[in-house]
Amino acid sequence: MAQFALLNLSLKNLTDWSSVRMNSGLEILNVSHNLLADVSTTFPPSLRVLDLSYNQLGSFNFSLAPSLTQLSLRANHIENLVLTLDTFPANLRLLDLADNPSLQLYVDTTVFEKLTASGFTLLLTSNLTLLQPPSQGKQDERSQTQSSHSSGLSTQTATILALVAVFLLGVCWSICRIWCCRRREDNVYIRGTLCSSLSLPQDRPLHLSPESFNRRGRFG
């Protein structure tokens, strides 16, 4: 059986992979301009170039073709694509993701460095988002939780301190009034009122002396 390095099955109206026969020495596979909705096959380790453009793919598993150097997924229906070091082909140098209108591309730090390197060609018409490392995400989550907890404690502490301050002010006010009343009890005012707000500044205490009593014989 002949071993072909190139297999061109473009424009064949393919809807599945049952009619795609790949030999162990296949290096270039072109299945563009078909009706493929998924990739339900295993590619030979020898495959270097894969053209899946202009199909109806909703996703692609990079681990199915770890030896690729060029991959085209142009003009499909891919919405979310996550690229991590574990599955990203180590030798990939060209990745065409253009014309996937709803595509959101997420990559980790290492893959981001590969995609933006001078020797790499990335064709993209959507946004590229850098994945947050899981450890950093957990750390940020803990920080936010601690911050919220600290904020709650600060508010609670401030409320308690305010209540204590109001209580102490009330106690001080009560002590001052009691002290004022006791000072006034030491003097008998003409108006005959004790600790009364009606007592005027011109009121003077009445001093009783033996001379005035003997002279008048009575108080008055």
Domain of residue 65, CATH code: 3.80.10.10
Q: Measured between alpha carbons, how far is 183 from 191 in angstroms, rounded to an integer? A: 16
Answer yes or no: is 136 within a domain: no
Answer yes or no: is 35 within a domain: yes
Neighbours of 10 (CB within 10 A): 13
Residues 96-138 have pLDDT tens digits of 999 999 998 899 999 999 999 999 999 998 777 777 544 444 4
For Cα atoms 60, 61, 67, give the angle at the middle one, nearest 5 degrees: 115
135: amino acid identity, one letter? S
Q: Which of 11-15, 100-104, 143-147 has the lowest mean pLDDT?
A: 143-147
Residue 3, SS3 per DSSP: coil
DSSP conformation class of 91: T
Answer yes or no: is 51 within a domain: yes
Q: Tell which wins on pLDDT, 195 or 33.
A: 33
Mean predicted confidence (pLDDT) in 47-65:
96
Question: How would residue 49 be classed by pLDDT, with cut points 50, 70 and 90?
Answer: very high
Range of the domain at 38: 1-131
Residue 8 has pLDDT above 80, yes or no: yes
- Per the CB < 8 A criterion, the answer to whether 49 and 68 are in contact is yes
Q: How many domains does the chain have?
A: 1
Q: What is the rounded average pLDDT for all residues in the chain?
A: 79
The structure's pTM equals 0.60
Answer yes or no: is 38 within a domain: yes
Answer yes or no: is 170 within a domain: no
Answer yes or no: is 216 within a domain: no
Residue 206 has pLDDT above 50, yes or no: no
Q: Which of 29-38, 44-53, 96-105, 146-155 has the lowest mean pLDDT?
A: 146-155
Q: Measured between alpha carbons, how far is 75 from 99 in angstroms, rounded to an integer? A: 5
Answer yes or no: is 186 within a domain: no
Instruction: Choose from 106-120, 143-157, 163-177, 204-218 the range with maximum mean pLDDT.
Output: 106-120
Answer yes or no: is 25 within a domain: yes
Question: How would residue 155 be classed by pLDDT, with cut points 50, 70 and 90?
Answer: confident
Residue 49, SS3 per DSSP: strand
Residue 185, SS3 per DSSP: helix
Q: Measured between alpha carbons, how far is 126 from 121 in angstroms, rounded to an integer? A: 15
Judge residue 68's burial from the number of C-beta atoms within 10 Å of its C-beta, 0-12 exposed, 13-18 middle, 19 or more buried: buried
Residue with tokens 């600060």: 154
Residue 187 has pLDDT above 70, yes or no: no
